[in-house]
Structure formats: C-alpha cells, structure tokens
Amino acid sequence: MSTRFVNIDRETPMLLPPDLRDWVPEDDLVHFVLEAVRRLPLEGFQINHRGSGDRQFPPHMMLSLLIYCYANGIFSSRKIERATYRDVAVRFLAGNTHPDHDTICKFRRENPEAFSSAFVSVLELAKELKLLKLGDVAFDGTHIKANASIDQNVTYERAMEIRKQLELDVAELLEKAETADKNDEDSQKLPKEIARRGKLISKMDRAIEELRKRASERDAKAQAEYEEKLEKRQRKEEQTGKKPPGRAPKPPKTGPENSEVQANLTDPDARIMRKNKRSGFTQSYNAQAAVDADGSQLIVGEHVSQSASDSTELENGINSIPKEIGRPEAGLFDAGFVDADAIERVEECGIELFVSVHREDAHSERNYDYRPKQQSARPTKPVKDPRLLEMREKLRTEEGKARYAKRNHTVETAFGIIKEVMGFRGFLLRGMEKVKGEWTLVCLSYNLKRLHRLKFS
C-alpha cells in the first residue's frame, strides 16, 4: 500500500493575485477592530495637516494596528513591524503596507488623546450593543513594571557626590584636550568622553531636582501633621489645665538629605514598589482599573498612580469612569482602598460603596491549611470610626456578601487576562504621561478583545 502525501509546490506562481480577505476568517478580531476604530473622528490624532514631507500612514490604520497587536500579545514596535510581513491578519489590516518600527513608536508616543477617545467610543459601542450596563463596578490596582531598572535608583546625597565627581572628571578631560591641542596630539576620543559625562551630569541634575521636589511635598505634609498634633495637645491642655500624658510631638526633619527616597535615572516618574511583604521590590507603576461586574467584564475606567498603595485611589477610581457612559450604581473595593473621608464624599454623590474594612486572615478560612501558623502576626487594629463600622456591618449582610463577592471574578480576571493571555507585564514607554497613554491602549485592546468574544460567543 503506497503512502499518499499532499503535494507542496513552492515554485509555481499564482495565476491571480491573492485576496487577503479570503485568508482571514469572517469572525476574526481584526474585522471588529477595524469597524470600531473607523467611528473615531480624525481630529483626535496628531497628524501633519500641512501636507509637506512624505505621505503619512492613515491614523485609523495605525491605531487599529496597535490595538490588534496589543490584543494578541505583540507590544514591541519592531515585532509589530515584523508582523506586517509575517502575520496574514496584520498584513490585511495594514493593507499590505509596512510602517517601520520608528513610525509605530512615534505614533504610540504622540497619540494618548486618541487612545482615550477610542476607549470612550468603544464603551459607547458596548452600550449600543446592550452589552454594558453600569450597575456594580469592581475596582482594583496592579503593579506593572516600568521600563527602567531598579538598580538605576540614586539617593539625594549619592546624586550630589556623583555630580561633583563628574564635574571634576569633565574638568580633567578638558585640560587633557587643551594639552593635546597644544602638542598637536590625536584627541578624537576626548570629545566623546566629555559628552558622555555631560549627559550623566544632566541625569544627575534631573534626579536632584526630582528629589528636592518630592522632599518639599513630603516636608509640607509632615509639617501640617506636626502642627495639627501640636494644636490638639494645646487644646487638651487648656481644657484640663494639665499637660497631656506622653511626649510632646517633635518637629519633623526637613530637606532631601533627611530622606531615603530615591529617584530613578532612567524613568524618574517610576517608583519602587512591592505587592506585599512576601514579594520583592520592583520599579513599577500602579495601574488601576474599574471593571463592570454585571456580566460584561469590560474595563469602564482606568488610570495610573505613582503610589504603591491603593489607599488614595478610591475617588480617583470613581472619577476615571468617563462621564459619557454615566455613573455606576455601586463600587466594590477591597481593604486596600479604605478611606473613611473618601467613602463619605463618594456616597454623598449618590454612589453606593461596598468596601472591605480590614483584611481577613486567610489562615482562618482553611480547615486543612498546609502552611505553618504565623507566630508573630500583628493583631488587627480595631475599627473605631463609626462610618467604617457601618460599612463593616453592611458587608456582613447577605446582600453585602453577594455584591462584594463579584470583585474576585471580575477585576481580578481582567488583570489576569491582561497579564497572562495578552502577556502585558511591563510598560514600553517612559514618563508618567506616556505610561498613562500606554495603559489606556492596553485597556482599549482588552475591551475590544472582550467585546468581540461577547458578540461571537
């Protein structure tokens, strides 16, 4: 019995040029992305309106290219350029054109407003398709690595020392260059060395300025807290006629040299963060997302924070939801967002909140726990604020438990898809403004991927 194989002929040319649409399935994500982006107005893009220079790639095509590639785990501009040759769907999307990696990177840097506009437009499309209903919305944050090494951090004192040493090195190199000119010697390497050190001095200047700015903000906050404590102590003394027990508050130490805060030389806006005591430190941003918890699991709000903790992000999370799609009925937050004043302000605006007041001990929830018992666990601080006590009682009701339970399979799932399925674990751009734009692009890509799944499932 003879074995039969399919004939593979790579030599015979095609009689007719191929139609790329025949090679891309009708239910492929690429068609959905093109249709969604086509709705956006041209005014939102940074383009050359003068008509001078080389012809530009259509901005709608460029945005569709970024969204489709991000949704499929292709983030590098060089890999996106390569995909326009190798990936049939990407080649169809780009109309058999091939923007180079520099053009792709430039478009990504310069169009954060277009990403925001597209983010809102996609949510409006979801409402038109009746796939989005703003009822309960779950909020959370996750640390995303910055495009910078943690080893590039420097303290204020160290930055001053390095800057002084660099100035001495530059002076020495200039003296050598002057001597070489007098003796008619070859000194081609000296200008490069001087320029390299000059660049390092500029980096140190930026780091010193950043540390001074942050120290000034910290000192102002510490001084305000000190004055408040002092005023309370004085009022108590006036009321009782006796000095209050305990030591009087000490004035805070001011100045950048009295702080262990560090600035990163590669991305000064990034911060050193860690998820918990069992995790290592990373140079990261805190990426926040608000996810519809009533079925669609779409990201309805997003923003980026420099704070490792979520404690200041409750109101920012609520405000990140675009006004064009309305306000949620309720917000679901974990214990990291606890802020009694912020909770009160948000609820006064008519949004009901379900906020876990304190972290629950995971060890007490397991009947058969393989982990050793914590010997030196800190006792949980008692809740005294009446507003938080009321919130705790609300979450103990059957309705409170049911609604708060939506958090786990909504916002956590969205972060899981972004990190594991899409593969996005680190920003490619640097600086707070550019990082904000890239996070909007990531959330936009996730939403279109999710919408496509809801429509064709």
Q: Provide mean pLDDT across the span 168-174.
A: 82
DSSP assignment, residue 426? B
> Does the pLDDT at position 81 exceed 90?
yes
More confident residue, 76 or 295: 76
Across the range 4-13, mean pLDDT stands at: 74
Structural domain includes residue 328:
yes
Name which residue leads in pLDDT, 363 or 185.
185
Q: What span, in angstroms and rounded, lies between the C-alpha atoms of 336 and 317?
A: 13
Q: What is the pLDDT of the chain when averaged over all its residues?
A: 86
Same structural domain, 139 and 25: no
pLDDT at residue 50, rounded to an integer: 57
Domain match, 221 and 352 both:
no
Residues 175 and 144 in one domain: no
Kindly report the number of other CB atoms within 10 A of residue 265's CB atom. Answer: 20
Quick one: 315 and 357 in the same domain?
yes
Q: Decide which of 1 and 290 is more confident.
A: 290
Whether residue 13 is contained in a domain is answered as: no
pLDDT tens-digit readout, 306-328: 999 999 999 999 999 999 999 99
Q: Is the pLDDT of residue 259 over 80?
A: no
Pair 430, 328 in one domain:
yes
State pTM to two decimals.
0.86
How crowded is the C-beta side of 408, counted as CA atoms within 13 Å? 6
Tokens of 60: 């709608």
Each residue's pLDDT tens digit, 39-62: 887 777 876 655 555 788 889 999
**Using an 8 Å Cβ cutoff, are 290 and 138 in contact?**
yes
Q: For residues 217 and 295, state if they share a domain.
A: no
Question: What residues make up the domain containing 196?
Answer: 153-264
Q: What is the CATH number of the domain that holds 275?
A: 3.30.420.10
pLDDT given at position 261: 80
Of 282, 222, 288, nearest in space to 255 by CA:
222
- Average pLDDT (77-83) is 97
pLDDT of residue 362: 42
CA 124 distance to own-chain centroid: 23
Each residue's pLDDT tens digit, 140-159: 999 999 999 999 998 888 88
Q: Measured between alpha carbons, how far is residue 413 from residues 140, 343, 421 in Å?
A: 11, 25, 11
Check residues 27 and 231 and name the one with the higher pLDDT: 27
Same domain, 253 and 334: no
**DSSP per-residue letters across 100-149:** -HHHHHHHHHH-HHHHHHHHHHHHHHHHHTT----SEEEEEEEEEE-SS-
| 423 close to 452: Cβ distance less than 8 angstroms | no
Nearest-angstrom CA–CA distance, 373 and 376: 9
- Please state, in angstroms and as integers, the Cα–Cα distance from residue 270 to each residue in 73, 210, 277, 407, 438, following that order: 23, 12, 20, 28, 14
Instruction: Assess contact for 64 and 93: CB atoms under 8 A.
Output: yes
- Quick check: 380 pLDDT over 70? no
Total structural domains in the chain?
Answer: 3
CA distance 227 to 433: 35
